Structure 1
Amino acid sequence: MKLRIQHHTTYRYTWPVLYSIQHVRLTPQQDIKQRILDWKIRTPAKHHSACDHHGNAVHTFSVNQQHRELTVQSHGHVEIDSLDDGYTPHQSFSLHPLVYTPTTQLTQFNDEMREFASFVADTHIPFAHRILTLAHAVADRVVYTKGSTTVADSAMQAFENGQGVCQDHSHVMLACLRAHGIPARYVSGYFFNPNVEQHDSHAWVEVFDENRQQWLGVDATHKSLVQGNHCRLAVAKDFTGASPIRGIRTGGGQETLDVQVTIERVG
């Protein structure tokens, strides 16, 4: 499947920003199942391109003059093949899976969450079945409710409140898996739904299958394994390291954010 993707992000501020630096992770991953045909990123200042320790492409720029608006655009074409039962291809660049085992501030767990996911440690149950069952349980426990959380909310908060969005589903999944010592990582990207015109950024998780020595993608929000409708942007321990745009600023006052994502199938 060939997709045309456009991602338009604009920050607006109530007072002038004196200085800002932004890290942009809006370049799709590239492997034998996901191929970039063309891709461009536009930033308000010249950007520097590099690869972070997770293997993500990162574009960094800074704005040294006063501004009350900042826009980042990315667009291009990506060709995506369905994964083999949700498993990603073997990667030439990859950190050791144990890097994704410790909890983070956003993926801490409590005893209730450990017990909630206790079945994931039962090796008598096929691995993919365990992980997909957990995805269903998380989606039922944390009801998808747009606008119910912020990017600063943790897995324990979403689990306790019983509502959230894809980011929260992913953080709860990570917390539950890490509670049982299973390596799992956060994935940012896009989910193509042919029945809608306006899309959003999306998030899911990848869980390391020790027997296959591969990562298994699972989307709790859609209660499914990752197949041909997902476009991977970045991986990290949680949202913080995989956020499409993340930075710091001096000044600016209150911030408003406008994000527009359009995805079209063109082949």
Structure 2
Amino acid sequence: MRLAVRHETRYQFDPPLVHGLQRLRLSPKESHGQSVRAWRMELSGGRVEVSYDDHNANHVTLASVLPGTSELVITCEGVVDTADRAGVVGRHVGRLPLWAFQCQTPRTRPGARLKALSAPLAGQGEDRLAQLHALSQAVLAAVAYAPGHTDVGTTAEEALGAGRGVCQDHAHIFIGAARLLGVPARYVSGYLLIDGRTEQEAGHGWAEAHVDGLGWVGFDVSNGISPDARYVRVASGRDYAEAAPVTGITWGQSASTLSVSLAVEQQAVQQ
């Protein structure tokens, strides 16, 4: 499947910003089942300082905000070819060893609720793939998809307690529980082609777990499936913090407002 993506992130500062730095993980990965045919990034109100691959093999652009900027616009667009591999991404790459993805982070650290959720699955490790699909179903049953009740700082334990959340919360709960079961797991940020809809409010997030003999396998808890050809992988990390599309710091007494415009659509493939 050939997918065209246009993603615009707009920050407005009042008063104008003195200085700022933004870490951008907005360039899709080349991976099994995914080929980036074209991709470009443009900045208005900022400039690229350096680009590099981080410890998770994410493509990262470090951009500075120009002094006195009242509006920073980050525009990314491109075309990505994808294939349905039943969620299987394959072997582990990156500088972090596999065992690092068994270590909990502040966002995934389990409390009593997460331990109770994972406990019934602890004896099902003989069929690891089935165990992880059962975990995905258990997370969705425990936490209804409901925007507006959590934010980027909400932990897995907090979202589980609330019983409501979004894709980020589902992924963090799955990751924390998978690690309790002894399975390396990570967060993935990217894009999803939604049937019958081009314009979207935001990107998407899901989880991946490492299964012996298969490598990394994706689980989109919110949609109850493993990622297929409708998904574009952009970045991954131990939790959302390491895969967030935009993170940064600013100097100066300035309030900011954020708006996002995103379109994902399928293109015809010329034979």
Do the two structures share a fold, i.e. TM-score over 0.5? yes
**Secondary structure of 2:194's match?**
coil
**Secondary structure of 1:50's match?**
strand
- Aligned-pair CA distance for 1:207: 0.3
Change in Cα spacing, 1:213 to 1:265, as seen in structure 2 (3 Å) is: closer
Superposed CA deviations along residues 80-139 of structure 1, whole A, max 9, x for unmatched, are: 0111x3211335546322111111111111133112112443345522221112112111
**What's 1:208 paired with?**
210
Alignment of 1:167-246 (within 5 A): 167-199=168-200, 200-210=202-212, 212-246=213-247
% same residue: 28
Q: Is the 8 A contact 2:18 2:68 kept in 1?
A: yes
Change in Cα spacing, 1:266 to 1:252, as seen in structure 2 (3 Å) is: farther
Q: 1:61 aligns with which of 63, 66, 73?
A: 63
Separation in structure 1 between the aligned mates of residue 155 and residue 257 of structure 2, nearest angstrom: 22
TM-score scaled to structure 2, two decimals?
0.92
**What's 1:255 paired with?**
256
The alignment status of 1:26 with 2:44, answered yes or no, reads no
Alignment of 1:1-267 (within 5 A): 1-43=1-43, 44-83=46-85, 85-90=86-91, 93=94, 95-123=96-124, 126-199=127-200, 200-210=202-212, 212-267=213-268
Q: Is the 8 A contact 2:31 2:89 kept in 1?
A: no
TM-score scaled to structure 1, two decimals?
0.94
Q: Is the 8 A contact 1:148 1:164 kept in 2?
A: yes
- Aligned-pair CA distance for 1:64: 4.1
Separation in structure 1 between the aligned mates of residue 82 and residue 133 of structure 2, nearest angstrom: 22
Once superposed, which parts of structure 1, at least 4 consecutive aligned residues long, lie more than 3 Å away? 91-95
**Secondary structure of 2:176's match?**
helix
**Secondary structure of 1:225's match?**
coil
What residue identity is the alignment partner of 2:260? Answer: V
Q: Which runs of 5+ in 2 are unaligned?
A: none
What residue identity is the alignment partner of 1:50? Answer: Y
Separation in structure 2 between the aligned mates of residue 91 and residue 34 of structure 1, nearest angstrom: 15
Separation in structure 2 between the aligned mates of residue 170 and residue 241 of structure 1, nearest angstrom: 13
Superposed CA deviations along residues 178-198 of structure 1, whole A, max 9, x for unmatched, are: 223221000000111121121
**Secondary structure of 1:235's match?**
strand
Separation in structure 1 between the aligned mates of residue 120 and residue 130 of structure 2, nearest angstrom: 11
What residue identity is the alignment partner of 1:60? Answer: L
Separation in structure 2 between the aligned mates of residue 252 and residue 41 of structure 1, nearest angstrom: 28
Q: CA RMSD in A?
A: 1.6
Q: Is the 8 A contact 1:68 1:252 kept in 2?
A: no
Q: Is the 8 A contact 2:88 2:214 kept in 1?
A: no
Q: Is the 8 A contact 2:41 2:76 kept in 1?
A: yes
Superposed CA deviations along residues 25-47 of structure 1, whole A, max 9, x for unmatched, are: 01111024100000001123134
